[in-house]
Amino acid sequence: MKILSYNVNGIRAALKKNLVGYLKDSQAHVVCIQELKALQGQVEMEEIESIGYKHYWFSAQKKGYSGVGIWSKVEPKHIEYGCGHELFDFEGRVIRADFEECSVISAYFPSGTTGDVRQDIKYEFLEYFFEYIEDLRKTIPNLIICGDYNICHKAIDIHNPVSNKNSSGFLPEEREWMDQWFENGMVDSLRKYNPEPDLYTWWSYRANARANNKGWRIDYISVTEELESKIQASGVDAHAVHSDHCPIWLVMDS
């Protein structure tokens, strides 16, 4: 079973850049999308459907903003829209698909780059989401949590850790949250088989950052420790250029 996660930074723009062709070649069974920036009725999905995907959307109520989705070739038992928090559900940040052996979440964590107010909302989300997952694990221990976490965990995950030490996305408080996340029964699936540096998932549009691979790893697929033994392979597809992010993927023994 292959699971892929991709912040597309606008689904309509990504589809115009042959996202369908990429997904067809990827042969992913489940695709988690972040930053849809559209309502379902605004997007023609016939091509996605033609390659086998059923699609589930949880868009932000604010037009052109945020939004998450799960597209799957495997019929879910249940789709859970939102995480039960009024603001974060208004912003379309979490959707979950329950399958027979596991549940898959597509999540788009808030960014704090626009100022103190949004940074405080980001911290609120981190606290709430941690507790939300803790509670969820009591009934669904096999969780796969995909998405744009908007945090670089370690120095290896960012091209210049020294100059970015005071940047949102690499702040000590954010990195401490990631420490707790991975010390509390979560596994960073990419790092299980890929310990090398320079594996980034987002690049600024400025200063030719992508061509020079001056990026940040802010997208993750975390799995609960109950599923760690089922991880067969993981990676990033840096060649995919439908967005300022690139896809990340995980192959599980189903």
The residue that leads in pLDDT, 3 or 115, is: 3
Tell me the per-residue pLDDT of 216-238, one tens digit each, with 9 for 90 and over.
Answer: 999 999 999 999 999 999 999 99
- The pLDDT tens digits of the residues spanning 130-170 come to 999 999 999 999 999 999 999 999 999 999 999 999 999 99
Q: What is the pLDDT of residue 19?
A: 98
Average pLDDT over residues 229-251: 98
What is the overall mean pLDDT for the chain?
A: 97
Fold of 2-252: Deoxyribonuclease I; Chain A (3.60.10)
Q: Which residues are catalytic?
A: 148
pLDDT of amino acid 109: 98
* Of 214, 157, 160, the residue nearest 191 (C-alpha): 157
- Phi, then psi, of 137 in degrees rounded to 5: -65, -20
pLDDT of residue 194: 97
| pLDDT higher than threshold 90 for residue 115 | no
Are the C-beta atoms of residues 81 and 58 closer than 8 Å to each other? yes
pLDDT of residue 182: 98
Confidence of residue 17 (pLDDT cuts 50, 70, 90): very high
Please, what sign has the CA dihedral across residues 225, 230, 232, 236? negative
pLDDT at res. 132: 98
Distance CA 180, CA 192 (A): 17
Locate 144 and state its tokens. Answer: 């796969």
Question: Domain segments of the chain: what residues?
Answer: 2-252
Residue 66 DSSP SS3: coil
Indicate the pLDDT class of residue 113, thresholds 50, 70 and 90: confident
Q: What percent of the chain is modeled with pLDDT above 90?
A: 97
Instruction: Provide mean pLDDT across the span 160-188.
Output: 97
Strand 78-81 vs strand 94-98: parallel, antiparallel, or unpaired? antiparallel
Dihedral of alpha carbons 151, 153, 159, 163, sign: positive
pLDDT at 114 (0 to 100): 84
In Å, how far from its chain's centre is CA 51?
22
Asked if residue 254 has pLDDT above 80, the reply is no
**In the beta sheet, which residues pair with residue 105?**
96, 145
